[in-house]
Amino acid sequence: MTYALTLAALSDPMRRTILERVVEGPRSVGEIAEDLPISRPAVSQHLKVLKDAGLVQEERAGTRRIYSADSAALGELRTYIDDMWRATLGRFAAAAEREEQKP
Burial class (CB in 10 A: 0-12, 13-18, 19+), 75: exposed
| pLDDT score recorded for residue 19 | 98
pLDDT tens-digit profile, the chain (103 residues):
568 889 999 999 999 999 999 999 999 999 999 999 999 999 999 999 999 999 999 999 899 999 999 999 999 988 989 998 999 998 988 888 888 888 7
CATH of the domain at 23: 1.10.10.10
Q: Quick check: 98 and 23 in contact, CB under 8 A?
A: no
**CA–CA gap between residue 85 and residue 79 (Å, rounded):** 10
Number of domains forming the structure of the chain: 1
| pLDDT score recorded for residue 101 | 86
12 contacts: CB under 8 Å, gap ≥ 6: 46, 49
Note down the domain range covering 54.
3-101
Stated pTM of the model = 0.82
| pLDDT score recorded for residue 94 | 85
